[in-house]
Amino acid sequence: MTRSARLHADGLTRCPWPGEDPFYMAYHDTEWGVPEYDDRALYEKLILDGFQAGLAWITILRKRENFRRAFDDFQPEKIARYNAKKVHALMNDVGIVRNRAKIEGTIASAKSYLKIMEDGPGFSKFMWEFVDGKPKVNQFKTTASVPASTPVSVKMSKELIARGFKFVGPTIVYAFMQATGMVNDHLVTCFCHETCAGKHRAPRLKIK
């Protein structure tokens, strides 16, 4: 369905997908499309996008704090050491999406992440090199114009899979690229289209 940006009661024009949900609107305004360069944060987002497969993103977003608690704040060095007992505990955690393949995939991806961190300049630089280190700013006017995947997301997906990452198909990877600001897919009439590139993400406090 073709949808254009919409004017909200606060006087701001936004992409249509967050609707009138204040929680979703806040995510749209402050996170989605803002460039993310933190290694661990990029790993977290990639994993959460993998968990989203087959679900609506708002479902994952509402469970995000539960996921962070369950997965040790998405610290790959901890997740890489998860054993069968931990997987069993996660499968019984009602606060997250209980999918064994995705949970085990998170562990496999943590090990692959650590390998990249050990071998090269870091996960962030590895990922951002696919877009030459800077956001690609698109000029879409309607949601129908926004692709589900691109040649770059296909290339990134293949490389991640080759390195052992799981649940990183081209569509999942493109959603990840949109969310982390590697591409700016805010519609041109959305107020965030001009502002998100200049925003900087504040470091998130870790869960105790």
Q: Who contacts 205 (Cβ-Cβ below 8 Å, separation ≥6)?
A: none
Q: Is residue 164 part of a domain?
A: yes
CB 107 within 8 A of CB 47: no
What token pair was written down for 168?
């990183």
What token pair was written down for 44?
């977290």
Among candidate residues 142, 129, 109, the one with its CA nearest the CA of residue 182: 129
Give the tens place of pLDDT for each residue, 128-170.
Answer: 999 999 999 999 999 999 999 999 999 999 999 999 999 999 9
Q: Is residue 18 part of a domain?
A: no
pLDDT of residue 5: 82
Q: Is residue 65 part of a domain?
A: yes
What token pair was written down for 193?
């289209």
Provide the annotated binding site for Zn(2+). Answer: 15, 28, 186, 190
Write the CATH number for 124.
1.10.340.30
Give the tens place of pLDDT for each residue, 36-53.
Answer: 999 999 999 999 999 999
Could you give the number of structural domains in the chain? 1
> Phi first, then psi: what are they for 81, rounded to 5°?
-100, 5
CA distances from 107 to 86, 145, 196 (A): 11, 35, 32
CB 164 within 8 A of CB 111: yes
How many Å separate Cα 73 from the centre of its chain? 15
Residue 206 has pLDDT above 80, yes or no: no
Cα separation, 90 vs 74, in Å, equals 13
Q: Is residue 113 part of a domain?
A: yes
Domain that holds residue 178: 35-198
Q: Is residue 26 part of a domain?
A: no
Cα separation, 174 vs 182, in Å, equals 9
Where b means 16+ CB within 10 Å and e means fewer, 159-174 reads ebeebbbbbbbbbbbb
pLDDT of residue 23: 96
Q: Is residue 84 part of a domain?
A: yes
Q: Is residue 83 part of a domain?
A: yes
Residue 91 has pLDDT above 90, yes or no: yes
Q: Who contacts 147 (Cβ-Cβ below 8 Å, separation ≥6)?
A: 174
Provide the annotated binding site. Answer: 15, 28, 186, 190
Give the tens place of pLDDT for each residue, 104-119.
Answer: 999 999 999 999 999 9
Q: Is residue 137 part of a domain?
A: yes
Among candidate residues 153, 191, 149, the one with its CA nearest the CA of residue 5: 191
Predicted TM-score (pTM) of this structure: 0.94
The model's confidence at residue 204, banded by pLDDT at 50, 70 and 90, is low
